[in-house]
Every structure is written in C-alpha cells, then in structure tokens.
Amino acid sequence: MDSITIIALVSIITAGFTTGVGTMYPALSEGKAVVAALSSLAQQPDASSTITRTLFVGLAMIESTAIYCFVVSMILIFANPFWNHFIAK
C-alpha cells in the first residue's frame, strides 16, 4: 500500500468514528437535559419560561458539539490537509 492509500483509509475510518461518537454522545446528553427540564417543570411550573429558555440555550450548545464533529469529518473526507503533503512527495 502506498502512502496516499493509507491516508485515505485512515481519513475515512477517522471520519466515521468522529461522526459516530459525535452524534451519539450529544444525543444522549440532549435526552438527559430534556428529562431534567421536564422533571423540574413538573416540580415548579411557575418557572417554566426560565427553564425553557435555559433548556434551549443548553440544547444549542450541546448540538454545536455534534455540528463540529460533522464539520471535522467532512474536512477529513473532502478537504483533507494531509493530501497535499503526501502528493507533493
């Protein structure tokens, strides 16, 4: 195997792993955040606007982690910075 094939293989495996982990853990943490928000809404319904606003901000922060992992995997597949280094040699 030449170096370009190895770089392609490692990039594809890393992109798959990044996408898998990067979507699995944020989904689990979003579920936990919703469960916590629903239980606190059940205990204190008067604070629903504050809890809902804080929940949406937290969900946006959690979702940004999944988006960053997706961007990294797309960079590894389509705009890999290691290609130019090994093609130049």
Average pLDDT, the chain: 91
For residues 77 and 89, give the distance between their C-alpha atoms in angstroms, rounded to a whole number: 21
pLDDT of residue 46: 94
| Mean pLDDT computed over 46-70 | 94
pLDDT of 64 reads 95
Average pLDDT over residues 45-55: 94
Q: Which domains are seen in the chain, by residue range?
A: 3-88 (1.20.20.10)
Candidates 26, 20, 25; CA nearest to 64 is 26
Q: How far apart are CA 26 and CA 9, in angstroms?
A: 26
Mean per-residue pLDDT, 13-40: 94
| pLDDT bucket at 81, cuts 50 / 70 / 90 | confident
- Percent of the chain whose predicted confidence (pLDDT) is above 70: 99
pTM, rounded to two decimals: 0.76
